[in-house]
Amino acid sequence: MKGTVTVDESLCKGCALCIPVCPKGLLRLAGARFNARGVHPVELLDPASECTGCQLCATMCPEAAISVYRAKQAA
């Protein structure tokens, strides 16, 4: 794993701006549930641990709902 993201679903407004910018196509709207704002929040779907931690999604998000974590490089 190189990176991963978490989404603060309470902040997400479901605008989907983050979805097309992910080079790995790992983000999607959680179609089965709504958040407190009444929208489908974004979720990470990364079963093969492809997230690179590139931060493009977090940079795009107008609500600062996405936090990116990157694995430390071995020394």
30 scored as a contact of ligand SF4 (CB under 6 A): no
Q: Is the dihedral of CA 51, 53, 56, 60 positive or negative?
A: positive
* Out of 10, 15, 45, 48, the residue judged to bind ligand SF4 by CB under 6 A: 15
CB of 73 to ligand SF4, least distance (A): 16
Site residues (vs ligand SF4, CB under 6 A): 3, 5, 7, 12-18, 21-24, 26-27, 42, 44, 51-57, 60-61, 63, 65-66, 68
